[in-house]
Amino acid sequence: MRNEQRLRTRTPESRAFADRVQLAMTLSARLNALPFDDLDARRALLTEIFGGPIPGSLTVLPPFHCDYGLGASFGDRVFINQGCFFLDYGGITIGDRVLIGPRVTLSTSGHPVEVGERFDYITHAPIVIEDDVWLGAAVTVTPGVTIGHGSVVGAGAVVAKDVPPLSVVTATSHVERKRLTPGPA
List, by residue number, the catalytic residues. 111
Rounded-to-integer distance, Cα 69 and Cα 50, Å: 4
Residue type, 154: G
Rounded-to-integer distance, Cα 153 and Cα 69, Å: 24
**Helix/strand/coil for 79:** strand
Name the packing angle between helices 39-49 and 12-33 (round to 10°).
170
Rounded-to-integer distance, Cα 30 and Cα 4, Å: 32
**Angle at 140 (CA atoms; ends 45, 56), nearest 5 degrees:** 30
* 123 DSSP β-pair partners: 6, 110
Rounded-to-integer distance, Cα 54 and Cα 74, Å: 7
Whether the link from the prior residue into 63 is cis, omega within 30° of 0, is yes
Q: What is the dihedral of CA 158, 163, 89, 103, to 10 degrees?
A: -40
